[in-house]
Amino acid sequence: MKKILITMLLLSVVVVVSCDNGDTGDTGNTGDTGNTGDTGDTGNTGDTGDTGDTGDTGNTGNTGDTGDTGDTGNTGNTGDTGDTGDTGNTGDTGNTGNTGNTGDPEGHVVDCTDTECKVPAGSFWMGSPTDELGRETARETLHYVQLTKSFYMGKYEVTQGEFNAVMGYNPSSFSSCGDDCPVEQVSWYEALAYANELSKLEGLPECFDCTGTQPNFTCSLKTAHSKPQDCLGYRLPTESEWEYAARAGTDTAFYNGDITEYGCEMDANLDAIGWYCGNSSNKTHVVGGKLPNAFGLYDMSGNVFEWVWDWYQESYPTGNETTPVVDPYGPGSGSHRVSRGGCWYFLSRNCRSAYRSYHPPTNRNVNRGFRLARTKE
């Protein structure tokens, strides 16, 4: 009997001990609290740092403005034409900036009056090299262009005062900026009508047949001329004339050097020569307030976009030093006309010498004006 009792007591002790040990095993469960390590997942909240990226998108919001141009939307599609980027092989000659030789104003004496500057005939690589910041591949394929005729280019963008004196009205949104600020809110046709009126006032031949009443004109090149360069009166520059004049012998993004910032950040080179979203305080400015290029031309980057003659075509014609594109003036028809130079509320990349924008010729915008050209006899 004593043995039974002792045995039972021993068993009870074993049971108690083993149960207690089990409990401490539970404390092992507090190891689960290690799961609070999962709280480390809240580190994911760091992802909200990505939201900072949307700040960048704020800049591209400006690009959305280029949406006015419908431009950038199309660019995506034409990425196929990235093949034309092959012409960027002529970019091999990207050294070709040198070949801007004949347009190189080194040793060139600036030949300007109060209103216009002489641009000598010459050849250059039009478009942008493949490594240029902000480049739009399909639209900016390098190709070699020869301009056989010297021409005069407006020293400044046409001002509100000049437009009003000739046309009798001022369409500008920034009218409070004053007579010396660029005229804007003008259609492509209004620019041609103004060119005709100025030609008449100065005893030069009119280049266009215009109908309609202000501001709703419709104009076309007079049938006596096969291309705009044939007329000796005032006209819009062709797209190639505009870029040649803007570059003034350079092959960099701006006529005073490379682009260093893509958006509205401060780009030192652009800040020195033009008004854009990084320095304009969201408005136009008096023309000629920044540094001119080697031909003596002001505001070829920024302030307002400038209408040019050509219908817009996504891809350029091909041309090299052996077989250049001679005196181009764009396709014979289209739905949008080209404008160049960037403006006061666009990004740095939109103010590059190679950048192209486009709109219907009837379009008016607070960011777009023009400057005139005329062929030298």
pLDDT over threshold 70, residue 347: yes
* Cα angle, residue 20 at apex, residues 18 and 24 outer, rounded to 5°: 115
What is 327-364 written as a DSSP string? S----S--S-EEEES--TTS-GGGGSTT-EEEE-TT--
Confidence class for position 88, pLDDT limits 50, 70, 90 = very low
CA distances (Å), 49 to each of 37, 55, 57, 338, in order? 21, 11, 14, 40
Mean pLDDT of 310-338: 97
Which pLDDT score, from 0 to 100, does residue 377 have? Answer: 87
Confidence class for position 89, pLDDT limits 50, 70, 90 = very low
Which sign does the torsion angle of CA 219, 220, 224, 226 carry?
positive
Of the chain, the percentage scoring pLDDT greater than 70 comes to 72
pLDDT over threshold 70, residue 302: yes
pLDDT over threshold 60, residue 154: yes
Which pLDDT score, from 0 to 100, does residue 36 have? Answer: 36
Mean pLDDT of 261-285: 98
Structure tokens at 103: 């347009």
236 with 309: CB under 8 angstroms? yes
Which pLDDT score, from 0 to 100, does residue 96 have? Answer: 39
Which pLDDT score, from 0 to 100, does residue 108 have? Answer: 72
Which pLDDT score, from 0 to 100, does residue 112 have? Answer: 97
- The single-letter code of the amino acid at 85 is G
Q: Distance (Å, rounded) from C-alpha 341 to C-alpha 327?
A: 20
328 with 240: CB under 8 angstroms? yes
Mean pLDDT of 119-128: 98
